[in-house]
């Protein structure tokens, strides 16, 4: 499955927290996440073996979870 197929990253729905403090989580389509951040998240999912993550801070400083 490609990163953007069905709007999911590696088959997982990713959420983004616009507040940065965990108060505004919302589902986000993979195509709305910068490509380098999708790669970081994929790395955590595949190489890191994380089927879920309660909070991931990308190199862009934004908060994601899946």
pLDDT digits (tens, 9 = 90+) for 36-61: 999 999 999 999 999 999 999 999 99
What is the reported pLDDT for 2? 45
Task: Check whether 7 has a pLDDT greater than 90.
Answer: no
| 30 to 17, 19: CA distances (angstroms) | 14, 19
For the chain, how many structural domains are there in total? 1
Pull the structure tokens for residue 19.
């507040």
Task: Check whether 31 has a pLDDT greater than 80.
Answer: yes
Beta strands in the chain, from DSSP E residues, in sequence order: 14-17, 25-28, 56-57, 63-65
Instruction: Compute the mean pLDDT over every residue in the chain, rounded to the nearest whole number.
Output: 91
Provide the residue range defining the domain that includes 57.
5-65
pTM over cut 0.95: no
């Amino acid at each position: 499955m490609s990163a953007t197929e069905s709007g999911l990253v590696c088959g997982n729905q990713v959420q983004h927290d616009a507040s940065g403090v965990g108060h505004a989580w919302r589902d986000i389509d993979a195509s709305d996440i910068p490509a380098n951040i999708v790669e970081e998240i994929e790395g955590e999912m595949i190489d890191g073996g994380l089927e879920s993550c309660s909070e991931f801070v990308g190199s862009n400083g934004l908060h994601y979870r899946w």
